[in-house]
Amino acid sequence: MRILKAIAVLMDYPDATIQRHGGELIELFEAQERLRAETREALTGLVRRLQSEDLLDVQSEYVGLFDRSRSLSLHLFEHVHGESRDRGQAMVNLLNIYREQGLEVSANELPDYVPLFLEFCSKQPEDEVQGWLEEMGHLLQLLHGRLEERESDYRWLFKALLELGGMETADELLRRQLQEEKRDDTPEALDAVWAEEPVTFGPTDGGCGGAKTNQGQAVPVDWSALKRHSG
């Protein structure tokens, strides 16, 4: 599904690719009948904004959203496993699935990075894609809801994935929880993290990059399917 590859491009760290190929992305989104009209329009609007704004400003915005905020991490298993050893095994399982399907991952990429996962999904038979998206459905709802709270137009990428997976956005209960959630990207919150966490060197228990978890906000995603698919 080319639409998944297009979403992955927009979700990845911004570079000149969007400015060079924005027209192609817009054509692809406008022709995608599986997306609601509102979502198609919002996606084309996001592309046009990223095309028109200074690249350094767009990159700074991206880092502020996805790199400074644990709750908006684009690494799937950070939300699911945090720093536990289970994350390392989940990484190995997912990496093996990629390799079985002919997708090679470079040494500096973590297999649970959402744009990479979407690239993998884009190469799968269309009748299997919905199942993969459903596996991460609750996480998609969380990320969409949190970006909506921040009034970020990146939320439409996750809205599109939910629609492609035949899912709805967060229900009323989850929305209330997200509204009450404390921001973890404020200067005060970031200072508190640096003050509380010791500096360590070398591998961590999390394995594969040792990313930290958003404490208390583990996502109940059923990743047992990874084991089923990997045999």
Q: What is the DSSP string of 62-81?
A: HIIIIIS-GGG-SBHHHHHT
Q: Please tell me the pTM assigned to this model.
A: 0.77
In which domain, by residue range, is 103 found?
2-230
Q: What pLDDT was estimated at residue 66?
A: 93
Q: Where do the H-state alpha helices sit in 64-171?
A: 76-80, 85-100, 114-122, 126-135, 137-149, 155-164
Instruction: Using CB atoms within 10 Å of the CB of residue 153, give its burial: 0 to 12 exposed, 13 to 18 middle, 19+ buried.
Output: middle
Evaluate if residue 105 carries a pLDDT over 50: yes
- Residue range 188-201, pLDDT digits in tens: 554 444 344 443 33
Phi first, then psi: give them for residue 125, nearest 5 degrees.
-55, 140
Residue 185 binned pLDDT confidence (cut-offs 50, 70, 90): low
Report the alpha-carbon distance of residue 74 to residue 35 in Å, rounded: 22
Range from 59-68, 106-115, 147-156, 177-186 carrying the lowest mean pLDDT: 177-186
Between residues 150 and 86, which one has the greater pLDDT? 150
- What per-residue string of b and e applies to 197-226 under the rule 16 or more CB within 10 Å gives b? eeeeeeebebbbbebebbeeeebebebeeb
Residue 116 binned pLDDT confidence (cut-offs 50, 70, 90): very high
Residue 100 binned pLDDT confidence (cut-offs 50, 70, 90): confident
Structure tokens at 16: 């000149």
Phi first, then psi: give them for residue 190, nearest 5 degrees.
-70, -40
Residue 178 binned pLDDT confidence (cut-offs 50, 70, 90): confident
3-state secondary structure of 171: coil
Q: What pLDDT was estimated at residue 27?
A: 95
Q: What pLDDT was estimated at residue 94?
A: 86
Amino acid identity, residue 198? P
3-state secondary structure of 113: strand
The alpha carbon torsion through 130, 174, 191, 78 (nearest 10 deg) reads: -30
Domain count, the chain: 1
